[in-house]
């Protein structure tokens, strides 16, 4: 895969998620240069040094950074992972007030140093923070969006592939809506190869039943809670999914990904960021795709919008 010449990826936050994303980006060759910044300069310096020692095995990519925000100057893309992390039993929306406060101060400083960059929010609650970051930055919503349900959709594809005995690359399914407790699987548009998921016949000659589809979607929704309970954070898969979004931008791919951006008149939703299939390229979000919803999916989408809207309403944005 080709990396755009002189592309610079800036990652804000050198914690578990930020360092995992930097690691994934280096291995995958997502950018020509990765810049890792953290307010904790000693942590950032240590992570950069550790990662740099492995770059002889990663090809042309290099890593720099530290505790000086000026290091991100001229970045092609900025990924924000900084913020309070989700604790066991805590919902993503519970994190909102703390992380909005961080963004209020951070966004103008990022835009000042990287005015032409596309900005990606990974910090949770990412839908609420996408709205906040867009308002604090003053940038077009197409250039400030969140990772949304890209990871959730990967979890769904993996789980379906395990259940049905096919490769995840042959599973075309997405989670949409809030990246959180009101998210839902877009079953009406899901396929195994060219076959609608509800019509797929497995090796035993059986079709997957509706109750099992609901169970699989519930497993995906709660996957992060199970991981956090066991190890304190999710980091590897979100690092990989973040790197995948970075590549769609820096390689001008026009890839269709369920990222979360501030919507205008999408299935009746305005001013709220939710994940829907979107075309991602060097401009950021080139187009939000108008996907047909079933009646049940439309109701679920409206519930997702209301969940995010309620949280936004409690904050001073």
Report, as an integer, the average pLDDT of 193-216: 94
Give the helix/strand (H/E) hosting 172.
strand 171-172
The model's pLDDT over 139-190, given as tens digits with 9 standing for 90+, comes to: 999 999 999 999 999 999 999 999 999 999 999 999 999 999 999 999 999 9
pLDDT for 92 equals: 60
Residue 242 has pLDDT above 60, yes or no: yes
**Average pLDDT of the residues of the chain:** 94
pLDDT for 97 equals: 86
Catalytic residues: 179
- Tokens 């310096």 label which residue? 45
pLDDT for 1 equals: 45
pTM: 0.94
The model's pLDDT over 101-119, given as tens digits with 9 standing for 90+, comes to: 999 999 999 999 999 999 9
Q: Which two tokens stand for residue 141?
A: 């919503």
pLDDT for 96 equals: 86
Q: How many CB atoms lie within 10 A of CB 285?
A: 22
- Classify burial at 292, counting beta carbons within 10 Å of its beta carbon; exposed 0-12, middle 13-18, buried 19 or more: exposed
Look at residues 60, 77, 170, 160 and name the one whose alpha carbon lies nearest to residue 115: 77
Q: With cut-offs at 50, 70 and 90, classify the pLDDT of residue 91.
A: low
Q: With cut-offs at 50, 70 and 90, classify the pLDDT of residue 49.
A: very high
pLDDT for 250 equals: 97
pLDDT for 316 equals: 77
pLDDT for 65 equals: 98
Residue 221 has pLDDT above 50, yes or no: yes
Report, as an integer, the average pLDDT of 21-26: 97
Report, as an integer, the average pLDDT of 281-307: 97
Q: With cut-offs at 50, 70 and 90, classify the pLDDT of residue 4.
A: low
Residues 6+ apart with CB under 8 A from 201: 207
- Tokens 């954070």 label which residue? 233
pLDDT for 83 equals: 87
| 290, 176 contact by CB (below 8 A) | no
Residue 301 has pLDDT above 50, yes or no: yes
The CB-side HSE value for 308 (13 A sphere, CA atoms) comes to: 32
């Amino acid at each position: 895969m080709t990396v755009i010449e002189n592309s610079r990826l800036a990652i804000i936050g050198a914690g578990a998620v930020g360092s995992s994303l930097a690691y994934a980006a280096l291995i995958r060759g997502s950018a020509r240069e990765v810049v890792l910044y953290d307010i904790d300069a000693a942590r950032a310096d240590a992570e950069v040094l550790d990662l740099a020692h492995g770059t002889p095995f990663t090809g042309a990519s290099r890593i720099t950074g530290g505790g000086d925000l000026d290091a991100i100057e001229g970045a092609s893309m900025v990924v924000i992972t900084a913020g309070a992390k989700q604790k066991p039993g805590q919902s993503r929306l519970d994190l909102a007030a703390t992380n909005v406060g961080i963004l209020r101060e951070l966004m103008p400083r990022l835009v000042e140093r990287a005015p032409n960059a596309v900005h990606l929010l990974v910090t949770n609650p990412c839908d609420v923070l996408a709205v906040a970051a867009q308002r604090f930055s003053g940038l077009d919503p197409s250039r400030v969006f969140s990772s949304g349900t890209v990871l959730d959709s990967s979890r769904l594809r993996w789980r379906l592939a395990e259940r049905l005995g096919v490769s995840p690359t042959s599973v075309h399914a997405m989670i949409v809506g809030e990246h959180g407790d009101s998210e839902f699987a877009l079953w009406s548009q899901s396929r195994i190869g060219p076959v609608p998921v509800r019509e797929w016949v497995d090796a035993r000659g059986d079709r997957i039943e509706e109750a099992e589809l609901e169970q699989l979607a519930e497993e995906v929704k709660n996957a992060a809670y199970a991981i956090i309970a066991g190890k304190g954070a999710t980091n590897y898969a979100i690092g990989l999914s973040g790197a995948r979004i970075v590549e769609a931008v820096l390689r001008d791919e026009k890839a269709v990904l369920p990222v979360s951006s501030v919507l205008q008149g999408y299935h009746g939703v305005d001013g709220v960021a939710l994940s829907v299939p979107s075309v991602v390229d060097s401009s950021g979000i080139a187009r939000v795709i108008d996907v047909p919803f079933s009646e049940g999916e439309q109701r679920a989408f409206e519930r997702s919008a209301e969940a995010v809207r309620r949280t936004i309403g409690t904050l001073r944005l």
